[in-house]
Structure 1
Amino acid sequence: MPHAGVVGGSLVSARLPDGFVVRLNRHTRVVDDGAVLVGGSPTRISRLKPLARRAIQGRTITVTDAASRALADHLLATGMADPVVDELPAVDLALATAVIPVRDRPRQLDRLLAGLGGALPVLVVDDDSLDRAPVAAVARRHGAELVPLGENVGPAGARNAGLARVTTPYVVFIDSDVVVEPAAIETMLRHFADPGLAMVAPRVLGLESDRPNWITRYEDARSSLDLGSDSSSVRPRSPVTWVSSTCLVARVDALGSGFDASMRVGEDVDLVWRLVEEGRRVRFEPAASVHHEHRSTLRAWLGRKAFYGTGAHPLAVRHPDDIAPVVLPPWGAALLVVLMAQRRWSLPAALAIAAVTVVRIGRRATGVRHPYRLAVRLTGYGAIGAVTQGFALLLRHWWPLTAIGCLVSRRVRNAVVAATLADTVIEYARTRPRLDPLRFAAARRLDDAAYGAGVWWSAVRARSPKALLPDLRRRR
């Protein structure tokens, strides 16, 4: 169900500076001649007071006074608008320090430091390499400060060791198997004109390979680290719920002690969610991109996917309200159940559920000129979202149960076939990979199977199903 709110007077300002520019994103609709905005995550209907309406020029808001400041802050907080990064002031790279955790990998480290070109101070944290000399030689050649650790503490602990030595206002965490250009860091630093921002992450693309294969081609199109081309706020229960520690730029005084050093996986997600819980903002900025060296062998690739999945239970312990594999309103869950039943009455029942939902949304959208027309649109989007999340449950998060169900139920088999075909077609059309549909479909299923296996392994080992349970709670 959408959330309804009134803009103007009741908003808490984050004191965005004068001249800060935001733009309504492509998911936000302007209706009733600019009197109402519909969008955000969760979807809300915001009625604009006259001062707020006058602050919007086209789809852009420039902060000039208290009203435009409150409106811009509200739109950022709800995910209805994004900063216009090109309009924000530049920040001197000397105000940021790069922290690079590394264990061996001197070749990759050399490539990364060459790309940075000495544009900013660099701390290389050697996380107890098996052969320290090559790492030290690379750091020395590029003028980077070396921080050797006496024991292997993992990426989170190594980043924290570097963070403790940073004296600049901003820190740039970069993994050693990444190529970053200074221009990407400059773009991300502009976002810190927002005083409420704690951290920003770039888009992570694949590094061009001399010998591409079907795995690298799939990863170039559908990497777990690539969060798409839309700028977004980052928080639980939104289109972008996390960002990877592959590359992060952060405000040092917002990080406290940094990452949870006890976590070997999922520490980036944990940090993002802790910052959001503290009331700080985190952003994803695809206008800045870095290139990651993807794994290219089947064993290493599947192992990495499963490893990502094992972070589910540690996150469930720390963030029990945010780890659900899918988040569905009750009507969306009911829609999935009746469609899965595959009975003669399934389609009429699904239409009845949708009709009741339209009526409920329409009754709440009292400030809109055509509430039921809007309600139909929102219900349609919600139904599509529920079905695609159902695909994810069948094929990714619950696939062991799905496999058992296929052995005993024709309806489960039919659902799996339909979900597989629909998911493959949608993702193939969306990502346009340099890979034929059959190998893309096979890679997609292997990706889901490996990640799901990691989630189940973490749940079984912890004897807790928390990371596997959908969230069906009603949120107003």
Structure 2
Amino acid sequence: MHFAIDGTWERTGPVVVAGSPLKIFRLTAPGARIAEQIERGADVDSSTLIDRLVDAGAIHPESHPGATSVFTVDDVTVITPQLGGIASTDGRVVVDDSSTPPIAGATIRLDNNSGPGAARNAGRPLATTALLAFVDADVDLLGDVGIGSWLMPLLPHFNDPSVALIAPRVAGEPGSPLDLGDKPGRIRAGTRLGYVPAAAIVVRADAFDAVGGFDPALRFGEDVDFVWRLDQAGWRCRYEPASAVWHEPRSNWPDRLHQQVGYGSAAAPLALRHPNALAPMHTNGWAVGSWLSALAGHPGVAAVTVAASVAALAHKLPNVSTAWSLRTALNSHLRGLQQLSVVLRRVWWPPLVLLTFFSKRMRLVAFGAVALDVAATPTDVAYGWGVWSGMIRHRTWRPLRPKFVSWPRRSVAR
């Protein structure tokens, strides 16, 4: 099988540092030979090392045109939850979520509007195939007829019996929260790919049944909760951008902002269900120390903190070049700044706005956070409004808590 190395991959002899979050692998001699084969793009057999590298997000199974699969498109049932509009005639199961007027041609109609999660669950008993594809009504399969060729890059992943879910890229307007980019990866809370939208996903039916499907109590965030429960149950979930579909963006700004408020409202119930999985930012103490020092008006202390972080990382990784340690540490601080700006715009803006009335420095901080991404600010603020509304409603502050992580963890792999 072919594997692609992650963009974080750095190998020096028997030491590999890669994955999300970063992890150190100290390889035996046979393990180092396998790593060399992966780097050359050669076929490698399944092994404990391969499983560990895949699970850590250090390497990714490659989907290519010649890949074969134990499943075909005939093994997939497409289920679409829908509220209003016109039912598709391509053979999918259309679940009318109590539309007014009813959707003509829908496969099944719910008596009460219950939300997309419940609607998807209602379509499950109508499928007898091994795989289920959940595709929202506003997703365009880009001209495919019937189930279509968008599935072809996804199906080979299910050759691995531990894989429960594969998600294609959901392209759309620039900056869409549904578009997770062009890099494949494992989906897990607290990593580069912490979630995928259920706008288009393919799920193993047995895995769907094992975790009880979507939580019907969640109107928003039901897809995030579903993926996290699959991962926590030991299943693998993957993102494969070699397949892409199109999501039609909201046609006007009021609708877009209302959508973001809804997304934000899911943060509180998700934080209550998954207390260790949801955090507005994941960073390490070095990055926090450097930027807090800078914000407090002590650039010298910030510079010393950055230098100390480089020394600490170099000490922890004696087999890795100093240049790599420097580059990795600096990237960590830059990512910390980027995360901080996003969090200030999306989650922490209410107290930040209050502080701007009393502090010139906080006004500069607020200006900087907006300046780093002016275009995203309106939707970020709307998302934050939803977060705070949800926190007040559910009486929890958990969505505000950041999560601090350490430098790369060590692992011995054979």
TM-score w.r.t. length of structure 2: 0.91
Superimposed CA distance per residue, residues 70-107 of structure 1 (whole angstroms, 9 cap, x where no aligned partner): 2321221011111111153133100010111112211x
> Match for 1:348: what amino acid?
G
Identify the residue that residue 470 of structure 1 maps to in structure 2. 402
Distance 2:220 2:161 in 1: 29
Distance 1:126 1:419 in 2: 42
Deviation (angstroms), 1:230: 0.7
Deviation (angstroms), 1:61: 5.2
Q: Please give the residue correspondences for 1:284-433 in structure 2 after superposition, counting only pairs within 5 Å.
A: 284-342=239-297, 346-366=298-318, 368-370=319-321, 372-421=322-371, 423-424=372-373
1:44 matched to 2:14? no
Distance 1:272 1:392 in 2: 23
Distance 1:466 1:310 in 2: 13
Identify the residue that residue 100 of structure 2 maps to in structure 1. 130
Secondary structure of 2:152 counterpart: helix
Looking at secondary structure, tell me which structure has more helix per residue: 1
Q: Is the 8 A contact 1:332 1:382 kept in 2?
A: yes
Identify the residue that residue 167 of structure 1 maps to in structure 2. 128
- Which one scores higher on RCO, CA 8 angstroms, separation ≥ 6? 2
Deviation (angstroms), 1:22: 1.3
Deviation (angstroms), 1:26: 2.5
Secondary structure of 2:283 counterpart: coil
Identify the residue that residue 412 of structure 2 maps to in structure 1. none
Secondary structure of 1:260 counterpart: coil
Distance 2:76 2:59 in 1: 27
1:242 matched to 2:195? yes
Q: Please give the residue correspondences for 1:34-73 in structure 2 after superposition, counting only pairs within 5 Å.
A: 35-55=14-34, 56-57=36-37, 58-60=39-41, 62-64=43-45, 68-73=46-51
Identify the residue that residue 92 of structure 1 maps to in structure 2. 72
Number of equivalenced pairs: 397
> Match for 1:166: what amino acid?
A
Identify the residue that residue 183 of structure 2 maps to in structure 1. 230
Identify the residue that residue 150 of structure 2 maps to in structure 1. 184
Structure 1: stretches of 5+ with no match in the other structure: 1-19, 140-145, 207-219, 425-440
Distance 1:407 1:89 in 2: 62
Residue of structure 2 aligned with 1:198, choices 156, 161, 164: 164
Superimposed CA distance per residue, residues 354-384 of structure 1 (whole angstroms, 9 cap, x where no aligned partner): 2222222222213x153x3332222112111
Distance 1:131 1:186 in 2: 36
Identify the residue that residue 445 of structure 1 maps to in structure 2. 377
> Match for 2:390: what amino acid?
S
Distance 2:406 2:192 in 1: 18
Deviation (angstroms), 1:42: 1.2
Q: Please give the residue correspondences for 1:84-163 in structure 2 after superposition, counting only pairs within 5 Å.
A: 84-86=62-64, 88-90=67-69, 91-106=71-86, 109-110=87-88, 113=89, 117-118=90-91, 122-132=92-102, 135-137=103-105, 139=106, 146-163=107-124
Secondary structure of 2:167 counterpart: strand
Distance 1:39 1:458 in 2: 36
Distance 1:127 1:183 in 2: 28
Distance 1:355 1:178 in 2: 48
Deviation (angstroms), 1:472: 2.9
Distance 2:344 2:10 in 1: 32
Kindly, what percent of the aligned residue pairs are identical?
33
Superimposed CA distance per residue, residues 148-170 of structure 1 (whole angstroms, 9 cap, x where no aligned partner): 22222211111011112221110
Secondary structure of 1:130 counterpart: coil
Distance 1:319 1:461 in 2: 17
Deviation (angstroms), 1:473: 5.7
RMSD across aligned positions (CA): 1.8
Q: Is the 8 A contact 1:88 1:190 kept in 2?
A: yes
CA 1:236 to 1:224, structure 2 compared with 1: closer, same or farther past 3 Å?
A: same
CA 1:105 to 1:335, structure 2 compared with 1: closer, same or farther past 3 Å?
A: same
1:83 matched to 2:33? no
Q: Is the 8 A contact 2:190 2:277 kept in 1?
A: yes
Secondary structure of 1:408 counterpart: coil
CA 1:126 to 1:177, structure 2 compared with 1: closer, same or farther past 3 Å?
A: same
Superimposed CA distance per residue, residues 205-260 of structure 1 (whole angstroms, 9 cap, x where no aligned partner): 12xxxxxxxxxxxxx11111111111111101111100001011010101122000
